[in-house]
Structure 1
């Protein structure tokens, strides 16, 4: 089976799980709304702390950043990132409960995720720090440096792909979760990266036609086309977020030697990771 075809099959299996637990779709919707409200509040607070200066020549006033505003902005971004990861953890918790044979609810999913809030916050800070360091290095690097930093970033993303399921299901801290994720991926090494690319291509296949259709409608009837485009993108993002969490959780359970439920077969998940080269341990 082709690699993308296998990702399509896995997406179908994930959709089968999602149809049994449609409430999982509410998690990214609620998460997006909560983050939007918090971002608006933080934006207003930061704006209120900006210093007002007046140009001596034109007498025009303007807002200038100050250390307090910058600090509040950094804290605000981290808070939003933690909340976003918390909702991602709730998706994983709900998917895991279903794959275990349970019947997840919003309450059970959020209860599990909030019980892991400390390691989730630690992981968010760790991932943000790595991203900031790589971005800082990339800004000063030349062409070859960009390639190297890009490869390091890709390797980090692959190595940490199972961190959230590890945190939610095993209850370990962020550093132990990274180590465990690397170990699981190494043990089942193969096309984890292809699985991610396959889901990314699936997302593009859903997004591009909508952008073309609703983009054309927006050009003709802006007041109708733009809202429909935004709604369409929100729906696609919501569904892909839920499918991705189910898929990732199923791959974690397979790699950890846990039952994966009726929707997924072990051969299907094994081909998702690919065969480990002979002689490797």
Structure 2
């Protein structure tokens, strides 16, 4: 007989590389009392990058250093005419953290979104709950589609998880050094939603304060007005800085900036909900 919840991915967690048990990391208790998170070995194996960043006197200078390092370390620059003419080289530069972020910005349920959610699984131990459709009972066609997309070579090559590791560590470094979203352990963000009832784990929308289970990687907006574009219900949440992967002003790119979008590690969040 199958144990209760065994086939329900909402009860699943995996091992991780941040030193905090995944169930605790996903809890509202962690969000209330966060601690710093670091992906094991990332800063140590890229000590040269962080030594260069330590010498930077401005956020602009740090952004340039990070972009240049990533381009050299992972061959992300477009080959010059006559260089890298082999099919493998032409493809290699396209597999990058920037392409993933652009793909997420267009559609978080795309193949790029699947790779990002897979990275969160691998590094933080949080299993996704949604990818185009709810990822409910396993196995299922929805899960098979997600697994195929997150492992597809279109994005999943060129050490893409290591690129995302560095992006996370750079984001945490920038938040601490240049206070891109202000000081303190939390930032207030907003999220528009149309699938509210299935996300609630405690409380109710009628009470306006409740706990919701968000996907393992989730987008927030920096203002309530921008969040209204993405759903009739707007959640206001205090998000730990330690859970942020991408914030406006982090990179020299316009990807996601149109919505002032923030990418954060998900889990259970206590929110204040309002209907607009």
* Fold match by TM threshold 0.5: no
| Bigger proportion of residues as strand | 2
| Bigger proportion of residues as helix | 1
Higher relative contact order (CA 8 A, sep 6+): 1
**Structure number with bigger Rg:** 1
* TM-score (normalizing by structure 2): 0.27
